[in-house]
Structure 1
């Protein structure tokens, strides 16, 4: 019994020893390390943080997440890299970190999950150094405006391209018709001789199958009219008015007088068919279909025989034919020009209507009639220039012209002055920029008092009903001044007539320099507000430096 107890304890100790040995080997089989490539960077520079793990076999590993690197920001997380060295798998993962504030910070201790266990890694102390800037050498610039992406889909551009392709393909498809429409020569005029016209009409009677589509009376009326019309144009002047008997007598007389060598069969066949036609028209005679078709063939053959015995056309007839052709050409040309005018007007109207629907009727009308303020607003030729010393910069639709004669505005305390203007006070848009150099004993002068004198000046120039308001003003480059604004009735070129307008006066005093900008513009204009805003937003004043 004693021996059995000792054996049991021995086996128990042996089992526990094997268990701890296996656990020790398993822990030794897992080696984890981490490091950084530097512990001192400048603001915004990159730190490479890397984790290495050695394993006997490939197991699932849960690496830290982006939030685990706080307060550092994760720039990039690289893919896991696996290598095999000395019978062990080396698994590596790298992170790119950065920070945007100076000071000393810690990359926190990271935790890995491996085989349902957590392995804690070391933390690192990192110094973030500020970037030194020498403002005397380093240029400082305003924040750049937001730029539109060039990759933006331009719907109108591709619409115009599509329309051009459609028009071009349509032109290629109908090229011959279009060219013939715009090219009208004498040879292209569809002129038919009397014989050709008669043959054409007889062919139409045959092709249209008159006998099945209309009554027999109309058939014979059309048939005889074609032959009578040919005879009238080429042989007898009043053939259409003659009865059948009178027509045959006149043709027989021409044969007897040997002017035209008609055969007896020709005269007889014409007389037979015309007599039968008279019976159909006046006696309600109804021949059978075969007889009607035979009569058509008979007159067609006799027509050809008559053509052969007719003399060659005289010079007078040729000239007459040429005149007819020319008249037809002119008529066709006139019709062509009328069509071009109608189609052009219709196209212009459709273009106008389409553009008006897209852009608005007011804008399209102003574009057509070239409204001045719209031209100013859409112009790429605005002038940005500096005036005076120290300079004041302003952007205007056209350059301001120096006034060499009498100046519009003046200040009593000024020792020197210069003035630049665009248009005059009677125009819908008027801009004046004045530079004053004040006297040395004018240091106590008040900006508001100087600017009020400008109101008195425009009153002397005929401006009435002036409403005045005061407000502080600051330019985009933070130069501070005073603004007087309001509305008034400004004179126009016509006597005793005024224009409802608005105005703004901007005044700046810097030491002994006084600068003033006066702008007036017509009310109730669709584009003037944008123009004025563009001008005002461009004002920049360079302050005079003092020691």
Structure 2
């Protein structure tokens, strides 16, 4: 009999001094966005530290915690969480762990059903009436400035591309560069003093070579490979070089061929005139090209 009484006393004392965890959920069925509460209470903690998930992180993902309050005194611990769910369906609050000293206590799981109480055809009223706001020019600028700036940048880019294509940097083969280069070559020829020395053969060989290279670059005609007669026919057919310039090229080239084969012996005045005529032809070539471009545009 004494042994039974001892066991009963032991159980009563153990129960009296052990921690007791209790939990309660206010509502098991909620409307979308409706708030609910779960309360967890632990008694007989005896001043021991209670550890659990941090504030606003105790409940799982679908439960939006609105308020999480913790109350602790010497002998009890209470945690009250206000929450809401914004999706339809059934959701579970799992076992929640609380560590008291070295002992782990767990709540029971709860199943929460969330329903949409709105009915088809329900009228939805604004909480507040729409308010008209008068916008100033600066307000419109703030709203649309990035669109305007982007449009202006695009237009500027298009204009820049067009200008570059149409009036971009001139290539080394441009008419002005070809003209200047040929004039320098003619000046170099003159400094060799072939005219003054009567060296007509060397003079005409180099003069014709310079002229042929110039016609090839400036007019894009194969003057460097064609015979004089064929080149003259092509110039007349092509109609790119003016008649005045065609006449000069024909006369100088024919005379050069005659000199080359020792069929004529030009004097200094003739050599000087041919040199001046070719130089003027080179200078006037840009006018031929301008006329040709206008003719193509028309």
Shorter-normalised TM-score: what interval? Answer: 0.3 to 0.5
- Per the normalisation by structure 2, the TM-score is 0.37
Whose relative contact order is higher, 1 or 2, with alpha carbons under 8 Å and at least 6 apart? 2
- Normalization by structure 1: what TM-score? 0.21
Instruction: Considering fraction of residues, name the structure with more helix.
Output: 2
